[in-house]
Amino acid sequence: MEERSEVLLKVEDKYYPPKHIVERAWVKDYESLYQESIKDREGFGAKVAEELHWFKKWDKVLDWQFPYAQWFVGAQTNITYNCLDRHVLNGRRNKVAYIWLDEDNNEQKITYGELLELVNRIANGLKSLGVKKGDRVSIYMPNSIPAIACMLACARIGAIHSVVFAGFSEGALRTRIEDAKAKVLITATYTKRRGKKIDLLATAQRAIDGLSFVEKVVVWDRDGDVLNGENPLLVSLDKLIKESSPVCEPEVMDAEDPLFILYTSGTTGKPKGVLHTTGGYMVETYYTTKVVFDAHEDDIYWCTADIGWITGHSYIVYGPLANGLTSLVVEGAPDYPNPGRWWSYVERYRVNIFYTAPTAIRMFMRFGEEWPAKYDLSSLRILGSVGEPINPEAWEWYYKHIGRERCVIVDTWWQTETGAHMITTIPSYPAKPGKAGKPFFTIEPAVVDSQGNPLPPNTVGNLVIKSPWPSMLRTCWGEPERYEKYWTTIPGQVYFTGDLATYDEEGYIMILGRADDVLNVAGHRIGTMEVESALVDHPAVAEAAVIGKPHEIKGESIKAFVILKKGVEPSDRLKEDIKQHVRQVLGAIAVPDEIEFVEKLPKTRSGKIMRRVLKAQELGLPVGDVSTLED
C-alpha cells in the first residue's frame, strides 16, 4: 500500500490577530519561546510549575522509564488547594467562580469562598461514608455547580473521581462503574434537556443493580421531593452538606497520585479508562488555559462542553479554577428554547472567551446567521474549537458571525489521553482555517509513516508525539497493555495519537481525521476531513460524513452522507452539483462515487461523527460497541 500522499485541501488564508489582543497577550513571541521550551523541556515545565503552590517541591522534574513517565517526582500538592484556597487567601474570596444557568434561565452564582466551603463539606461528607484516598467515586450528574463541587471534593481527599456523562444510558454507566469498582456513586434526581426531565436516579439505580461493591449512592435531590429515607443505600447530598464541617484540610497528594479516571468516548471501540495524575495535569491545564485562551483576571470565560468529557474536566473545572477565572456552566441543549440561547448568554454576561465544538458551529450554521445577529457579541475576544477538525467553511462562519471579524480563533487539538492542549494556535500568531496550528510549548509532534520515518511537508501520515509531557495519561485503568500500545504501535518510542496529519512549510499542522477512518483511493491516502470540508463548502450542505467502500479497481471508493441546509430540496441534480464542487476543490480523485442525503448522522454523545457505524451499516457488518452513540 502506498503510504504517502499529497494533501488535497489547499489552505492558504491567514488571519492575523488584532493588535490589541497581541499587545496584552501572555505570550507575544511564540517562536522564540517555543524554541526555548524544547531546548529544555524540563526546565520550562519547572518554571511554569513554580507559578502554582506545592506543599513540597520536586526532587526531579521528569523520570522517564519508557513508556512510563513520572513528572515532578517527589513533589506534594493538592489540586484543590491551587484551585480554591490559593485564591481565597489571595483576595479572590468574593470573586464569582461559576455562573450556572439551566434551560429555564434559572441562574446560580458561587464565589471562590463559597465553593471552597461547599467542597470541604462534601469532602467531609464523603469521608463520613468511608471514602478514603485512592477509592473510586463515580459521578453521574448534570453540568452544574454541585457536580463540579463533587469532583473537587474527591480531589480534596484524594479519592479518584470517574465522571460519566449524564447523557449515557444504564449499560454505559454500569460498565464504567464496574470497571472502576466505585465505592460510591454520586448522582442527581434528574437533568432537563429540551424541556424534558430525564430521570438520572432511576438509571443510576438500575445501573448498579447487583454491584455489591457500591456501598452508597449520594443523591442531589434537586427539588427535595424524592428521597424519603426508606432506602438505606441512598444518601442525600444536601443532608451531607448540612451536617458536615466546612473545614477540611486538603489531603497531601504526591504529584503522581491519581486524580481521576475518564473513559474515552469510544468513537473507535470499547471505552478505555484513561488515568490522570495530580501534578503534571495541574500544571498543564493551568498553563494552557492561561496562554491559549489568553485568560486575564477580569475575563468571563465559557466552555460549552459537559463535565462528562475531558474538555469539561480540563477547561470547565481544573484549568479555569487554577487561573481563578469566572466561568459560565450551562445545563441543557444549546438550541432550546431557541437557537438564540447561547448568544443571549454571551450578551448578558459579556463573555470574553468562548470555547465550543465544530459540531455546534455547524448546527448554528444550519439555523442561519440571523440568530447570532440578534445579539451583542462585542465582548468576545477569543473563540476556541475542539473535538474534531473544524472545516474551513465552519471556521469562517465562526469568525464572521460569532467573532464579527475581530476575534482570534484557537483550534485546539488534544485528546482525553493528552489531558491538555497539544497543538493549537495561540492568540499571538496568525491562524489558518482548517489547520490546528503549531505545537504548544515543550510539545514535539511529528508526522511519520508506519515505520516511524519522518515525512516531508504536505504529506499525509501518522501524528505522533516524540517525548513524554506532564499531563499525559499514566495508564489505562486495569489495562496496562492497552496503555503500552500507545507507545509501541509505531517504532521509535513515540506516542501514537491515532490521528492522521500533515504539516506545511511554516510548521502549521492540519489534522485530517483518524487513522482508522482514512480513505485509500487508488493508492492515495485521503483524510476524511478533506472530503468532508469540500462537501460542507458547497452552499447547500450543512454537514457531511464520508466512508470508504471496497472497490475492485480503486481499492476503495468514497461514499458521502450529506445533511442539507434548512429549506434545500434534495435532487439528483444537486448530487451532481455537489460532486462537481468536490472535483473543483480537491480534484477528481476525491469525488464521492455515491452521495446519500440523510437527516441525521450517527454521533457520539460528545458530538463526533461515528464513521465506523456508517461504514458497518453500509457494508452490513456488526457495528460493535455503540454505548456512546447519541441515539
Binding site for ligand ATP (CB under 6 A): 264-268, 310, 385-389, 411-413, 415-416, 436, 497-499, 511, 514, 608
Considering beta carbons, is residue 339 or 427 the nearer one to ligand ATP? 427
Q: Quick count: other Cβ atoms within 10 Å of Cβ 333?
A: 15
Give bridge partners of residue 217 from the DSSP assignment: 185, 234
Cα distance between residue 343 and residue 374, in whole Å: 8
Q: Are 510 and 504 in contact (CB under 8 A)?
A: yes
- Alpha helix locations (H) across 17-107? 19-24, 30-39, 41-49, 79-80, 86-89
To the nearest whole angstrom, how small is the minimum distance from the Cβ of residue 415 to ligand ATP?
4
Considering beta carbons, is residue 525 or 608 the nearer one to ligand ATP? 608
Cα distance between residue 302 and residue 621, in whole Å: 41
Q: Are 168 and 264 in contact (CB under 8 A)?
A: no
Q: Quick count: other Cβ atoms within 10 Å of Cβ 455?
A: 18
Considering beta carbons, is residue 81 or 168 the nearer one to ligand ATP? 168
Considering beta carbons, is residue 117 or 530 the nearer one to ligand ATP? 530
Peptide bond before residue 602 is cis, with ω within 30 degrees of 0: no
Cα distance between residue 350 and residue 356, in whole Å: 17
Considering beta carbons, is residue 266 or 468 the nearer one to ligand ATP? 266
Which of 302, 306, 309, 244 is CA-nearest to residue 271?
A: 309
Considering beta carbons, is residue 92 or 608 the nearer one to ligand ATP? 608
To the nearest whole angstrom, how small is the minimum distance from the Cβ of residue 8 to ligand ATP?
17
C-alpha grid cell for residue 42?
524540563
To the nearest whole angstrom, how small is the minimum distance from the Cβ of residue 47 to ligand ATP?
27
Q: Are 363 and 356 in contact (CB under 8 A)?
A: no
To the nearest whole angstrom, how small is the minimum distance from the Cβ of residue 530 to ligand ATP?
12
Considering beta carbons, is residue 188 or 448 the nearer one to ligand ATP? 448
Considering beta carbons, is residue 413 or 561 the nearer one to ligand ATP? 413
For residue 519, the number of C-alpha atoms closer than 13 Å in the C-beta half-sphere is: 31
Cα distance between residue 130 and residue 210, in whole Å: 20
Cell 488584532 -> residue: 18
Considering beta carbons, is residue 270 or 296 the nearer one to ligand ATP? 270
C-alpha grid cell for residue 309?
468529557
Considering beta carbons, is residue 428 or 528 the nearer one to ligand ATP? 528
DSSP 8-state secondary structure symbol assigned to residue 499: E
For residue 80, the number of C-alpha atoms closer than 13 Å in the C-beta half-sphere is: 27
To the nearest whole angstrom, how small is the minimum distance from the Cβ of residue 504 to ligand ATP?
15
Peptide bond before residue 67 is cis, with ω within 30 degrees of 0: yes
Question: Exposed e or buried b for every residue in 23-58, given b needs 16+ CB within 10 A?
Answer: eebebeebeeebeebeeebbebbbebbeebebeeeb
To the nearest whole angstrom, how small is the minimum distance from the Cβ of residue 416 to ligand ATP?
3
92: Cα separation from own chain's centroid: 27
To the nearest whole angstrom, how small is the minimum distance from the Cβ of residue 452 to ligand ATP?
19
To the nearest whole angstrom, how small is the minimum distance from the Cβ of residue 101 to ligand ATP?
24
Considering beta carbons, is residue 81 or 486 the nearer one to ligand ATP? 486
C-alpha grid cell for residue 414?
488534544
To the nearest whole angstrom, how small is the minimum distance from the Cβ of residue 478 to ligand ATP?
16
Q: What are the residues whose beta carbons fall under 8 Å from the beta carbon of 196, sequence distance 6 or more?
A: none
To the nearest whole angstrom, how small is the minimum distance from the Cβ of residue 454 to ligand ATP?
20
Considering beta carbons, is residue 124 or 267 the nearer one to ligand ATP? 267
C-alpha grid cell for residue 402?
460569532
To the nearest whole angstrom, how small is the minimum distance from the Cβ of residue 419 to ligand ATP?
10
Q: Are 302 and 346 in contact (CB under 8 A)?
A: yes
Q: Are 197 and 293 in contact (CB under 8 A)?
A: no
To the nearest whole angstrom, how small is the minimum distance from the Cβ of residue 512 to ligand ATP?
9
572: Cα separation from own chain's centroid: 38
DSSP 8-state secondary structure symbol assigned to residue 17: P
Cα distance between residue 67 and residue 482, in whole Å: 12
Considering beta carbons, is residue 75 or 357 the nearer one to ligand ATP? 357
To the nearest whole angstrom, how small is the minimum distance from the Cβ of residue 107 to ligand ATP?
29
